[in-house]
Amino acid sequence: AQKVTQAQTEISVVEKEDVTLDCVYETRDTTYYLFWYKQPPSGELVFLIRRNSFDEQNEISGRYSWNFQKSTSSFNFTITASQVVDSAVYFCALSERRGGSRLTFGEGTQLTVNP
Amino acid sequence: GAGVSQSPSNKVTEKGKDVELRCDPISGHTALYWYRQSLGQGLEFLIYFQGNSAPDKSGLPSDRFSAERTGGSVSTLTIQRTQQEDSAVYLCASSLAGTSGETQYFGPGTRLLVL
């Protein structure tokens, strides 16, 4: 069965600090996909990134970067020089090829960036 | 449309009443998904549509829950004889073809409160 664990329930930082959100996943499938979504106070889930299991190359997009390590089954998300607008709940999610199209979400991490 | 839309945005109902929640996916997206977000259960998958058929409805919590999709577009999630534990945010998502690992785009959700 697939499972996603986000051990950090809440993180609070001061603006301009770097912050890393952890995501650990479990799957028996050899082909799978990992996602990060952002849920701001408005409630809508905003897609951030998608990776497949065959592509371990780390990715950077502006202040955001993602570290995918199959050896530790982790897909961590780092925000560099955090800003107040980054305050949101962040969800990591997993989709297995054999599991069809459904997403399995982690519990989410509430990030608060204080001015 | 530009994004996934859902209506109503908020719904308050009395225990035992039936409710209908509506989702309008992104134009051209053949796959549609319903998820539920509640305090105790996190984000959980309910049902997936490919066109008008539902190949995966394994996440529906009871036979009080049903969903349909017509014309390969709008979907309605119906909850009969609502219970207090049905109170949650119901999120709809759509994706282009519904293939495994495809990015899903979410609507703003319907907040359901059962009194």
Interface test with B, best of A32, A75, A101 (most B CBs within 10 A): A101
Neighbour-count burial of A113, counting CB atoms closer than 10 A to its CB (0-12 exposed, 13-18 middle, 19+ buried)? buried
Q: What is the pLDDT of residue A97?
A: 85
Q: What is the pLDDT of residue B2?
A: 83
Paired tokens of B98: 């519904």
- Chain A window 80-109: which residues touch B at a Cβ cutoff of 8 Å? 91, 95-108
Mean pLDDT of B85-91: 97
Q: Give every CB contact of residue B101 below 8 A, 6+ residues apart in sequence.
A: A31, A32, A33, A50, A52, A95, A97, A101
B96 at interface of A, judged by CB pairs closer than 8 A = no
Q: What is the mean pLDDT of each run of 10 residues along chain A (115 residues)?
A: 94 98 96 96 93 90 94 96 97 88 94 97
Contact B55 A100 (CB under 8 A): yes
pLDDT tens digits for range B95-115: 998 888 899 999 999 999 999
Give the DSSP per-residue string, B39-102: TTTEEEEEEEEETTEEEE-TT--STTEEEEE-TTS-EEEEE-S--GGG-EEEEEEEESS--TT-
Q: What is the pLDDT of residue A5?
A: 97
Q: Are the beta carbons of B54 and B76 closer than 8 angstroms?
A: no
pLDDT tens digits for range B20-69: 999 999 999 999 999 999 987 789 999 999 999 999 999 999 999 999 99
A67 at interface of B, judged by CB pairs closer than 8 A = no
Q: What is the pLDDT of residue A51?
A: 94
Q: How far off is chain A from B18, nearest CA to CA, in Å?
A: 24
Residues of A in contact with B48 (CB under 8 A): 100-102
pLDDT tops 70 at residue B1: no
